[in-house]
Amino acid sequence: MADAVAGAGRFAPSPTGPLHIGSLYTALASFLDARAQGLAWRLRFDDLDQPRNDPAAPERILRTLDAHGLHWDGAVQRQSDHLELYEAALTELQQMGMVFFCTCSRQQLQGHSTYPGTCRSRRSPRSDAAVRVRVDAAVCEFADSVQGRQQTRLTDSAGDFVIKRRDGPFAYQLATAVDDGDPGIVRVLRGRDLLDNTPRQLYLMALLNLEAPAYAHIPVLLSPVLEKWSKQTLAPSVDDRKPDANLRTCLALLGLKPPELELQALLEWAVAHWDLRRLGPKDRVFSGF
C-alpha cells in the first residue's frame, strides 16, 4: 500500500508461539477493518516480556500471515526497539508528579480489589520498586465500535497501576499507550478480552498529550467448554498448508459467508463486504477444525 495512505490499523501479537485460530481470527479482522477504510495495516511484536518470548515465533508468525495473504505495510516493529520512547514518557510523567515508587509485595496487596495507595508518598526513584501512575478521580469515556459507549472510573476499576515493573521491563499499559498513541495509528481493533486495558491506556495517552485511536473490541473465540482459545488453553497452531479453509472458518466466525473464491479474491471480497455491525458484542464458540 502506498505511503500516502493517511493512518493505519495495527496487529500486535506477542511472540510467545505460533498463531492459533483465535489470533488468526483477530489478525484477519484487523486486516479487513483497515483495508476496508483505506488504511495501512501495520505489524508490531509486543515482545517486552522476554522470559515468555519464543525466539522462533516471530518468523513463524510472519510465515503464517504471509501464507494467508495478510500482508502488512512497512517495516515490522518491535516494542523492544522502542525503549527510549517509553523512558521519555516515564520521565515526562515523573516531571508532572504523576508517578510514585511502590515496594508493595503481592502478599501485601492480597484482598485489595484496587491498589490501596500505600506507597503514594514515595516520589524518589528506588531500585527495589515498581513505578505506578496516580489515577486520582479520573473517569475515562470512549465509544467502542463494537461494544458501545464505555465509561470507567479508574479508582474503581484499577487504582494506581504499574507502568514499569519492579524487575525492570516497562509494563504493557505504558508501552501500548505510547505505541498506539503514535499519530500514524488511527484505529485499534483487538479482542474484547483487552477491553479493560483501554481506559488505562487512554488515561496515559491523555497525560502524555498523545492522540488516541478509535477502538473496536471484537468478540473472542471460546472453546466448547467456554474457555478463550489461547496458548494457555492449548489452542492448536494454524496449519499454513490450508490458508483458504482457515480464512473461510474465520470469515464465518466474523459473520461473513463468502462465495467459492481463490485466496486473493476471497480477501478482496471480504474487504468489500466488511461490516463491524455483523459482529455484535458477544463471544463466539469455536469447536475446532
Reported as type and span, the H/E element at residue 32 is: helix 21-36
Q: For 241-285, how does the pLDDT look when each residue is reduced to its tens digit (9 = 90+)?
A: 999 999 999 999 999 999 999 999 999 999 999 999 888 888 888
* CATH no. for 8-81+219-285: 3.40.50.620
Query: What are the b/e assignments for 110-128, b being 16+ CB within 10 Å?
Result: eeeeebeeebeeeeeeeee
C-alpha of 192 from chain center: 10
Kindly write down the DSSP assignment for every residue of 217-258, as one continuous string: EEPPEE-TTSPBPSTTTTPPBP-TT-HHHHHHHHHHHTT---
In the prediction, which pLDDT does 285 show? Answer: 87
In the prediction, which pLDDT does 4 show? Answer: 42
Q: Which three cell numbers stand for residue 158?
A: 484499577
- Report d(CA 162, CA 170) in Å as an integer: 9
Q: In this structure, what DSSP letter does residue 170 have?
A: B
Q: For 142-158, how does the pLDDT look when each residue is reduced to its tens digit (9 = 90+)?
A: 999 999 999 999 999 98
Q: Which three cell numbers stand for residue 203?
A: 488515561
C-alpha of 134 from chain center: 23
In the prediction, which pLDDT does 171 show? Answer: 97
| DSSP-based three-state secondary structure for 2 | coil
Reported as type and span, the H/E element at residue 216 is: strand 214-218
The pTM assigned to this predicted structure is 0.93
In the prediction, which pLDDT does 5 show? Answer: 54
In the prediction, which pLDDT does 289 show? Answer: 62
Q: Any idea where the domains of the chain sit in the sequence?
A: 8-81+219-285
Q: In this structure, what DSSP letter does residue 282 have?
A: S
Write out residues in the chain with pLDDT < 70, as ranges: 1-5, 234, 289
Q: Within the chain, what is the greatest distance between any pair of CA atoms?
A: 64
- In this structure, the chain runs to a length of 289
In the prediction, which pLDDT does 184 show? Answer: 96
Kindly write down the DSSP assignment for every residue of 103-146, as one continuous string: ---HHHHTT-SS---TTTT--S--TT-EEEE--TT-EEEEEETT
